[in-house]
Chains A and B, each alone.
Chain A
Amino acid sequence: MDTVFGVEYDGGVILAADQANARSILIYQSNLDKITHLSSHSAMGVSGPNADLVNFTEYIAKNLALYELSNDGLKLSTHAQAHFARGELATALRKGPYQVNVLLGGYDISSSKASLYTIDYLAAMTKVHYGCQGYASNFCLSIMDRDWKEGLTKDQAIAIVEKCIKELQVRFLISQPNFIIKCIDKEGVNVIKYGADPADN
């Protein structure tokens, strides 16, 4: 039911997610931020039951923070973070699985490159240029297939994401009025726009 998008461009990654926290016929909250910051230059857009979402993202984020503290500020590359997250999902799979689908995006300062990884709830991972999680993939993957190309600018990437959001709003049965869009580049992880302020309680 959750929608998460990711689009890689030249010098960064755009991550977007809907902001509904719902179960069955009830909407608990419409300003949830489902894109958790992992480190200064990486974040995870996650779909799934709220409990697993929070548990998993906090576990990974805090472990990454511990790594930086234990190793004199050394940063893990996006590749390493993604493999770590996937490894934890894989280990938990046959013990107490997390039902989360993840799009992990990050920017590596050392190589000046951005990367995006998609990890599903069975811990299958692959590096991608763009991705969708949830029912959204049925509507939006084809838009991304057609519009994505090498060397996109940030604005072009955001335009693709907004096109996908519009498509969902027209064609997807479940109404998702609020989306939060974030950008990860050399400046770090920053919010571009949101439908409803996550800080508002």
Chain B
Amino acid sequence: MARRYDSSTTTFSPEGRLHQVEYAIEAINNAGTCVGILAKNGVVMACEKKVTSSLLAPTKTSEKTYKLCDHAACTVAGLTADANILIDQARLRAGRYQYQYVEPIPMEQLVEHVCNYKQAYTQYGGLRPFGVSFLFAGYDTHYGFQLYQSDPSGNYSGWKATVVGANNQAGKSLLKTEYGVTSNKEETKEEMKTNDMKGDDVVEMPDLEGALELAVKVLNKTMDATATSSDKMELFSLTLDDKGECVHKILTADETQKVIDKVEAKAAAAATES
């Protein structure tokens, strides 16, 4: 009788795996894609908007992007209901840090807090893990602009560019060849050196425009859609204004369309070239 409850969410399998955590990560591979790209002067996050029924009431601010505090935002891939709980946690943590130190919370600490909260559900309580992966974009005075990814296991890492959700492998391979590619075609068209300690010299960060275009390009690849349109994707950017304050911007439909048009024009030009 006890055997029925053996596949508890928080116990190891004989092979040393946590199945529930792995299934949770799988669940996210069916969710709407999110791309995150670090630019020279900001961070860009682009998401696929899955549900586009005309009967849906228009949302107040956003469907996939959430503001955590003045200097941080996140996008969600996975179960939105689960995400809401974690977003509350993140907002609370950011607020409490600000209350205690009268200073904005460093990005990594915010991410680590959310991840520690997720990790608890893989170790105790007998409750299932959160079926959410996040992309966190933020700015702090210690390390500038940063991009982090976290998954249901509670693991997180910092990225220059990454993809979560459906078809993320295709997105990632595109980023590998295209991120940091400058006009100097010969030396930079190779794949980004991954284990190279001097990797930062080789990779040149795009500017905001370039990052937005690259994000759209990645979404084009990951979305099965035939034609990408501005109502199927949401573009977000985090930058600093001249006073040094963070600006959270969700691009309007027009602005999004302009980026899509630019990407399509460049693709057409490249096609005629070759």
Contact B109 A71 (CB under 8 A): yes
* CA A173 to CA B106, docked complex, whole Å: 49
Provide the residues of chain B in CB contact with A80, threshold 8 Å.
101-103
- Per-position binary interface string of chain A over residues 56-95, scored 1 when its CB falls under 8 Å from any chain B CB and 0 otherwise: 0000000000000001101011011001100100000000
B17 within 8 A of A: no
A110 within 8 A of B: yes
A89 CB to nearest chain B CB (Å): 13
Residue of B103, B106, B108 ringed by the most chain A CB atoms within 10 A = B103
B216 CB to nearest chain A CB (Å): 35
Contact B103 A83 (CB under 8 A): yes
Q: How many residues belonging to A are interface residues under a CB distance threshold of 8 Å? A: 11
* CA A122 to CA B106, docked complex, whole Å: 29
Provide the residues of chain A in CB contact with B100, threshold 8 Å.
83-84, 87
CB closest chain-B residue, reference A86: B102
Contact A79 B106 (CB under 8 A): no
- Per-position binary interface string of chain B over residues 95-123, scored 1 when its CB falls under 8 Å from any chain A CB and 0 otherwise: 00001111100101100000000000000
* CA A84 to CA B103, docked complex, whole Å: 10
CB closest chain-B residue, reference A110: B141
B18 CB to nearest chain A CB (Å): 25
Contact A77 B103 (CB under 8 A): yes
Contact A76 B101 (CB under 8 A): yes
* CA A110 to CA B109, docked complex, whole Å: 19
CB closest chain-B residue, reference A111: B141
B163 CB to nearest chain A CB (Å): 27
Q: Say which residue of B103, B108, B142 sits within 8 Å of A79 (CB atoms).
A: B103
CB closest chain-A residue, reference B106: A74
CB closest chain-A residue, reference B143: A74
Contact B108 A71 (CB under 8 A): yes
B131 CB to nearest chain A CB (Å): 28
B115 CB to nearest chain A CB (Å): 14
Provide the residues of chain B in CB contact with A71, threshold 8 Å.
106, 108-109
Provide the residues of chain B in CB contact with A83, threshold 8 Å.
100-103
Provide the residues of chain B in CB contact with A79, threshold 8 Å.
102-103
Residue of B99, B101, B106 ringed by the most chain A CB atoms within 10 A = B101
Q: Which positions 142-158 of chain B face chain A at CB distance < 8 Å?
A: 142
B69 CB to nearest chain A CB (Å): 16
B123 CB to nearest chain A CB (Å): 20
A136 CB to nearest chain B CB (Å): 28
Provide the residues of chain A in CB contact with B142, threshold 8 Å.
74
* CA A76 to CA B106, docked complex, whole Å: 10
- Per-position binary interface string of chain B over residues 69-103, scored 1 when its CB falls under 8 Å from any chain A CB and 0 otherwise: 00000000000000000000000000000011111
Residues of A that sit less than 8 Å from B by CB: 71-72, 74, 76-77, 79-80, 83-84, 87, 110
* 16 A–B contacts from the bound complex (CB under 8 Å): A71-B106, A71-B108, A71-B109, A72-B108, A76-B101, A77-B103, A79-B102, A80-B102, A83-B100, A83-B101, A83-B102, A83-B103, A84-B101, A87-B99, A87-B100, A110-B141
Residues of B that sit less than 8 Å from A by CB: 99-103, 106, 108-109, 141-142
- 5 closest cross-chain pairs (CB), A and B: A80-B101, A83-B102, A80-B103, A83-B101, A87-B100
15 extra interface residue pairs, beta carbon distance < 8 Å, beyond A71-B108, A77-B103, A83-B102: A71-B109, A72-B108, A74-B106, A74-B142, A76-B101, A76-B103, A79-B102, A79-B103, A80-B101, A80-B103, A83-B100, A83-B101, A84-B100, A87-B100, A110-B141
